Structure 1
Amino acid sequence: MTTQLEQVYEPLNTKTAIELSKNLQLFDLHDELTAEEIGDGNLNLVFRILHIESGNSIIIKQALPYAKVVGDSWPLTLDRARIESESLQRTYQLVPKLTPKVYYNDPKLAVTIMDDLSHLIILRKGLIAGHQYPKLAKDIGTFLAHTLFFNSDYGMNQQEKKIQSSRFINPELCKITEDLVFTDPFFDHDTNNIEAELKSFVEHVIWADQPLKLEVAKLKKLFLTKAETLVHGDLHTGSIFVSQEETFVIDPEFAYYGPIGFDIGAFLANIILNYLSQDAHLSDQPQKKAEFRQYLLDVLTTTWTVFEQEFTSLWISYPQDAFMKVDGFLEQTLADIWKDTVGFAGCKVIRRMIGLAGVEDVESIKDSPARIAVKKQALTLGKHLILNRHELTTIDKLVKVVSSNA
């Protein structure tokens, strides 16, 4: 549903969120509803609207014109709400079992109304608690293969792809990634968030390493110029809802046309960070720690393996270019995707340790020496992935490096 209401933008509250849902006839005017603001991110308001009698509910997400983490001194475009809504709708066409359904969007109000997934848990929180999700890796591998293939020149008519890509020009949010992932953590920048005990390590291991900076510059150039496919743009474990039976990917407001390996690298990086953090979270349960860490390594392996298998199957079944039938082209494409994936994963690992936004997996470690030790491990590993992405040519080699650095 895309009918627009003639309203001027203003931030919603629980009362106006209920009024909006009734005005759109998502509920009857006389229904008794409750509204709760449940957003815990940096950029948006998120309301859960519940029909008390039936238990039916929806989510209303509204973009704010600034970053909550900083305030109105950091203005942001409201057009990102349109981009997120259209990305969700496109993704729902491709993988409806892995994406929430959008019921309404209004670019003027910067509002998207969608399925309520609050019966599930955010993946990051589940992993921190040591829970295993047997369908996660296969689901994410499938999600990545189908969304990244069918939005690219490999799986979409090239002319249609050019038209679609013009709808996902996302300069302001891309600038956030360009700065906070690919630039600021590698210099002494005021946006960085570095614990005092870690500063000297960062200065010597990251900021003083010119070969590392050269490789990051190359990866940043790929992010800036390699417009292969519509990427989610922020595919971390906080953007995934899960249960033992279900997996849903949410929050694609950073969506833009970029490198295929970017989303894959982002997801793998977050699994790696949880793997490292379990040394502290499960320090008093060595057997459970070993078992859970092996599960996380299996997630890394299965995610890539499923992606590779699904991408290959789609390549063979839905070729959009004559050259896709040329021997060796698929293999070279997958090798390039993997190389990019490893490099982007390294950048993501580093930025989460010293950049503006950390991850709960590590920041929730209460023991300071243990937390600092994990951050040093992560920074060392992230650096290794960036510098050695040309040699780490298989998922097995990556997994070996991760397990040997913990």
Structure 2
Amino acid sequence: MWILEEGQILPYLRIHYPVFDQSGPVDIQCIGAPEGEEKPLEPDEGGLINYIFRVSNGKQSVIVKQGRSTSRKNDKIVLPIWRNRQEYETLRLRHAIVPQYTPETYYVDWENAVFLMEDVSDLAQVRKLLCSGVMLLGLAEQVGEFVAASTFYCSEFYLEAGLFRRLSACFRNSDMRSIMENWVFLRDAPYLTHNGNPVLKQLIDRDDSIRVCCYELRHKFMTQGEALIHGDLHTSNVFADEERLKVIDMEYTFAGPLCYDIGYFAASLLAQYCTACFRPFPSEEARRTFLSYLLSSLLELYHSFVEHFTEFWREDAKPIYQRSGGFCEHLTRGFLPDVLGFAAVPCFPQITTSLTPEFARLDGEARIQAHELCLVLCRYLLLEREQWDTMEDAVQAIGAVTQIYLDCLE
């Protein structure tokens, strides 16, 4: 196996991708290079597991991604090399469904676990934009459409049953999905060294109500193979500007619950919301505007997902489902509890085991308060998720509980 380092990228491309012009200067950047390396960059979530290089000659720019048998950040974590092939295949699949939201792939090398894809660095990572207070007005609508399309058209509602079963078997992905099964739902991540908030960790670990709900949703995650899902759709894996959006990092793809991806992305918005209550803004008016934007985005995200899913159903569902009367409406009415549950649960590890960029921007008392608010909100959403009839009700409750918490601090 050819282990790619920065100095080997150009010889590799000369052999495997000769259409890349090397006649002039070529710039190579290692995505996620830590401080102190020859070309230090801001640490990037994309470099956590894989080895990723951006190669540009001024006219062409490609991403070279290699999957190895161990994690980039922790060589004690053993990973299947074939995950790289599965990511390439799911990128191709989703590009066929939603090319406007999926990077194009150029080349794959099975033997060396390498593929080349479109460089989306002309867009900005959504997490960094939100952490800087930038409001992308089309974000929620576009993410909702991406998830609705990529789940519906990879589900048995659209695909012939035998084909869907073969697709599900092809993307079983048991090694990668087990990472999420343990980290998201059990808060077990041996590759993370940050211990989080120890007091709140004890509260969460001793809370039987949280534990039962986490196991219930974990069981759904493990057993409800309703459609191919992204599996890791958070704001670091979405790049956007005011008009365009691209989704990356699809190596966790498997057949899972229809609502998981929307809930998981909503968890990123909830984390932003909790930290925005305490991080500096130019004015309190600017803070209120940003918080209102995040709550509106939660609403728009959910409604975009449901409305686009319903639209695709009406246009392209199999005849057996076209004749099913109100089944689509019945199905989508059941989305809300799962979306809220899958939004709440991923926030708990951000309190107990991992310091995500949203919370890392806060220090001292501000971080503690953001963690506390996150726990209060997510516990409330998790335990009461069956009680709300509409997403509007849930978002209104988020605002009300936030105000109660803030009043208690005064």
Relative to structure 1, the CA distance from residue 201 to residue 352 in structure 2 (aligned partners, 3 Å threshold; closer, same or farther) is closer
Relative to structure 1, the CA distance from residue 398 to residue 107 in structure 2 (aligned partners, 3 Å threshold; closer, same or farther) is farther
Q: Which moved more, 1:272-281 or 1:217-226?
A: 272-281
Question: Residue 100 of structure 2 aligns to a residue in which SS?
Answer: helix
Question: In the alignment, is the contact (CA less than 8 A) between 2:144 and 2:305 conserved in 1?
Answer: yes
Question: In the alignment, is the contact (CA less than 8 A) between 1:151 and 1:161 conserved in 2?
Answer: yes
Tell me the TM-score normalized by structure 1.
0.91
Q: Which moved more, 1:235-244 or 1:102-111?
A: 102-111
1:395 match? 391
For 2:70 and 2:376, the matched residues in 1 are separated by 34
Q: Does 1:292 align with 2:290?
A: yes
For 2:176 and 2:384, the matched residues in 1 are separated by 29
For 1:108 and 1:332, the matched residues in 2 are separated by 47
* Correspondent of 1:91 among 89, 94, 98: 94
* Correspondent of 1:46 among 48, 52, 56: 52
* Correspondent of 1:80 among 78, 83, 89: 83
For 1:20 and 1:271, the matched residues in 2 are separated by 40
User: Where in structure 1 are there 5+ consecutive unaligned residues?
Assistant: 1-8
Relative to structure 1, the CA distance from residue 171 to residue 140 in structure 2 (aligned partners, 3 Å threshold; closer, same or farther) is same
Question: In the alignment, is the contact (CA less than 8 A) between 2:21 and 2:57 conserved in 1?
Answer: no
Q: Does 1:260 align with 2:258?
A: yes
User: Where in structure 2 are there 5+ consecutive unaligned residues?
Assistant: 33-43, 403-410
**What amino acid is aligned across from residue 27 of structure 2 in structure 1?**
T
1:378 match? 374
Identity across aligned pairs (percent)? 27
Q: CA deviation at 1:389?
A: 1.5
* Correspondent of 1:66 among 70, 76, 86: 70
1:6 match? none
Summarize deviations over 1:302-357 as a string: whole Å, max 9, x none.
111111111111111112252453233112211233221111111111122212x3
For 1:29 and 1:201, the matched residues in 2 are separated by 54
For 2:357 and 2:372, the matched residues in 1 are separated by 16
**What amino acid is aligned across from residue 308 of structure 2 in structure 1?**
E
Q: Which moved more, 1:268-277 or 1:312-321?
A: 312-321
For 2:388 and 2:373, the matched residues in 1 are separated by 18
**What amino acid is aligned across from residue 182 of structure 1 in structure 2?**
F
Q: Does 1:279 align with 2:280?
A: no
Q: CA deviation at 1:93?
A: 0.4
Q: Does 1:207 align with 2:205?
A: yes
1:348 match? 346
Question: In the alignment, is the contact (CA less than 8 A) between 1:128 and 1:281 conserved in 2?
Answer: no
* Correspondent of 1:315 among 306, 313, 319: 313
For 1:245 and 1:331, the matched residues in 2 are separated by 31
For 2:26 and 2:281, the matched residues in 1 are separated by 45
Relative to structure 1, the CA distance from residue 167 to residue 266 in structure 2 (aligned partners, 3 Å threshold; closer, same or farther) is same
Question: Residue 346 of structure 2 aligns to a residue in which SS?
Answer: helix
Summarize deviations over 1:107-126 as a string: whole Å, max 9, x none.
32221211111111100000
1:4 match? none
Q: Does 1:159 align with 2:162?
A: yes
2:356 match? 359
Question: In the alignment, is the contact (CA less than 8 A) between 1:225 and 1:258 conserved in 2?
Answer: yes
1:3 match? none
Q: Which moved more, 1:29-38 or 1:233-242?
A: 29-38
Q: CA deviation at 1:199?
A: 2.1
Question: Residue 153 of structure 1 aligns to a residue in which SS?
Answer: coil
For 2:124 and 2:331, the matched residues in 1 are separated by 35
RMSD: 1.9
* Correspondent of 2:28 among 29, 35, 47: 35
Matches within 5 A, 1:179-190: 179-184=182-187
1:25 match? 18
For 1:368 and 1:27, the matched residues in 2 are separated by 49
For 2:238 and 2:2, the matched residues in 1 are separated by 28
Relative to structure 1, the CA distance from residue 335 to residue 35 in structure 2 (aligned partners, 3 Å threshold; closer, same or farther) is same
Question: Residue 112 of structure 1 aligns to a residue in which SS?
Answer: strand
Question: Residue 60 of structure 1 aligns to a residue in which SS?
Answer: strand
Matched residue pairs, number?
Answer: 388
* Correspondent of 1:137 among 136, 140, 158: 140
Relative to structure 1, the CA distance from residue 179 to residue 192 in structure 2 (aligned partners, 3 Å threshold; closer, same or farther) is farther
Question: Residue 77 of structure 2 aligns to a residue in which SS?
Answer: strand
Summarize deviations over 1:172-198 as a string: whole Å, max 9, x none.
11111111111136x9x9967434xx3
